[in-house]
Amino acid sequence: MQVESSLREPLVTGGKTVHDVTADICRQVEGKPTKSWMLGMALSLGVLSVGAYAVFMLLWEGIGVWGLNKTVGWAWDITNFVWWVGIGHAGTLISAILLLFRQRWRMSINRAAEAMTIFAVICAACFPGLHMGRLWLGFYWALPLPNTFGSLWVNFNSPLLWDVFAISTYFTVSLVFWYIGLIPDFATIRDRATNKISKAVYGALSFGWDGAAKTWMRYEAVALILAGLATPLVLSVHTIVSFDFATSVIPGWHTTIFPPYFVAGAIFSGFAMVLTLMLVTRKLFKLEDYITIYHIELMNIVIIITGSIVGVAYITELFIAWYSGVPGEQYAFFNRALGPYWWSYAAMMTCNVISPQLFWFKKIRTSIVSTFVLSIVVNIGMWFERFVIIVTSLHRDYLPSSWAMFYPTKYDLGVYIFTFGLFFTLFLLFAKFFPVINMAEVKSIVKATSEKKNDKVYGLGSREKAMEVK
């Protein structure tokens, strides 16, 4: 059994027993869909169908329905792609890296974070597909498949091809990692199931989990191996995504700082997205005892760190542009900050560099409302970061004759909305039918029942009070 220092703040509050954990988390799965869930689902499906119309028009008419032009060949499409991929970083980071670092506080959030990762990667993957002029061919021509077209093969020099491998590997490993983690919980639900369908479905999903010590041992080993596999992937995916830009010749793209800067940005935005979702889930599913202020605070600290890294990266870019003495590079950054898209640069700077610094104040980083607001602000900022990198670099590059503006159309917006619809539909389905918190793991950190008494005396989740008493 886990030995926990009595001085440590309990990671799960409310004096939950092991049975409480099961009951609290299975409640959502077993119960009837709540009204708020139905409402959310209706909303998501509505957004999804509006978006689906935009996707249909895009496929039917051509990429021309977007606002792209001869100068700006990528804009919202790749912005959204990188944004979603970035968001998809938090889940694996939380479950893999924090697992390796034995950070136990991750246990109550890793399931949802991983699910979010998978859904975000699905949304991200929509864009490289949809942005292609000929999706119907591109989706398999971009893979190194043996073919009868002669000696046609993919171009291994192309960063887009690296993306294909990076994203698909990341997606596969994340999916397996997530699913392995779900198996014991599926088994729990299967064992509690009262109707035949649930029993059959969850029975199938749980892969015949028997709860034997040997099984648990294997489970732990697999989790560790997968964590080891996933950890380099967290770093590699966004590194490779950043190569799309870094290996090009366009000023503003052609910079070696991109890999670390992108990874930091990805973790930054990923944590922000996890917070946004967790705060809502926590409230709706009444999981305040599992996802505590302590979790929120720790995540906010990660946001301060990564936000500051990103800020340093922005300033380094400006410095290097000046220091390099390359006029094209200098103009690219002058144009970013003071050109026609200055407002997007300003939005990026405000949201990504200034706003996370507010978390230095304990009051702000432990406030649910401000955390929620800032987590959204951070994601807006991170969207602008990608927009700034992609559009402001392209729209004024080498030859002034080709300089142009990019204006989005309703279909740019529509396809973005489509991925939102998709994401929330998937997330709501997950929240309803899958255990949103890893029951098996959380049970390992639930304190002895005797603490129930203490908590009753001292109130919920108050670390200071608990410490004073002890």
Kindly tell me which residue out of 33, 159, 260, 408 binds other proteins, with binding defined by CB under 8 A.
Answer: 159
SS3 323: helix
Report residue 271 as tokens.
């944590």
167 is a contact residue toward other proteins (CB under 8 A): no
Least distance to other proteins from the beta carbon of 249, Å? Answer: 5
CA distance 429 to 111: 14
DSSP string for 70-117: SS---SHHHHHHHHHHHHTHHHHIIIIIHHHTT-GGGGGTHHHHHHHH
Q: Is 309 in the site for other proteins (CB under 8 A)?
A: no
Residue 158 engages other proteins in binding (rule: CB under 8 A)? yes
Q: Does 367 bind other proteins (CB under 8 A)?
A: no
For position 155 contacting other proteins by CB under 8 A, the verdict is yes
Q: Which of residues 395-414 bind other proteins (CB under 8 A)?
A: 396-405
262-378-259 Cα angle (round to 5): 5
Q: Does the protein bind other proteins through residue 101 (CB under 8 A)?
A: no
Contact in structure between 278 and 377 (CB atoms under 8 Å): no
Which tokens belong to 394? Answer: 């392209």
Which of residues 53 and 139 has its CB atom nearest to other proteins in the complex? 139
Per CB under 8 A, which of residues 37..96 are in contact with other proteins? 61-64, 67-71, 73-74
Binders of other proteins among residues 233 to 272 (CB under 8 A) are 244, 247-250
Distance in angstroms (rounded) separating the CA atoms of residues 220 and 100: 12
165 lies in the binding site for other proteins (CB under 8 A): no
- The reply to whether 394 sits near other proteins by the rule CB under 8 A is yes
Does residue 138 touch other proteins according to CB under 8 A? Answer: yes
Taking Cα atoms as reference points, which of 4, 9, 11 lies closest to residue 467?
9
Nearest to other proteins of 25, 391 (CB atom): 391
Q: Is 320 in the site for other proteins (CB under 8 A)?
A: no
The smaller minimum CB distance to other proteins, of residues 133 and 212, is found at: 133
Residue 20 binds to other proteins (criterion: CB under 8 A): no
One DSSP character per residue, 195-236 reads: SHHHHHHHHHHTTT----HHHHHHHHHHHHHHHHHHHHHHHH
Pick one of 154, 305, 364, 368: the residue that binds other proteins (CB under 8 A): 154
Which range in 156-164, 281-289, 314-322, 423-431 contacts other proteins by CB under 8 A?
156-164
Question: How many chain residues bind other proteins (CB under 8 A)?
Answer: 52
Q: What is the 3-state secondary structure (H, E, C) of 421-443?
A: HHHHHHHHHHHHHCCCCCHHHHH
Question: Which 8-state DSSP code applies to residue 9?
Answer: P
CB of 399 to other proteins, least distance (A): 6
- Among 39, 42, 160, 469, the residue binding other proteins under the rule CB under 8 A is 160
Q: Report CA-CA distances (Å) from 205 to 3, 190, 366.
A: 32, 9, 38
Q: How far apart are CA 179 and CA 226, in angstroms?
A: 11
The nearest distance, CB 346 to other proteins, in angstroms, is: 17
Q: What angle is formed at CA 55 by the lines to CA 342 and CA 253, rounded to 5 degrees?
A: 35
Looking at residue 209, its amino acid is: W
Tell me if 141 contacts other proteins by CB under 8 A. Answer: yes
Work out how close the CB of 84 gets to other proteins at its nearest, in angstroms, rounded to a whole number: 17
> Least distance to other proteins from the beta carbon of 416, Å?
18
Sign for the pseudo-dihedral over CA of 452, 454, 460, 462: negative
Q: Does 337 bind other proteins (CB under 8 A)?
A: no
Give contact residues for other proteins (rule: CB under 8 A). 61-64, 67-71, 73-74, 128, 131-135, 137-138, 141-142, 152-155, 157-161, 164, 244, 247-250, 327-328, 331, 334, 338, 394, 396-405
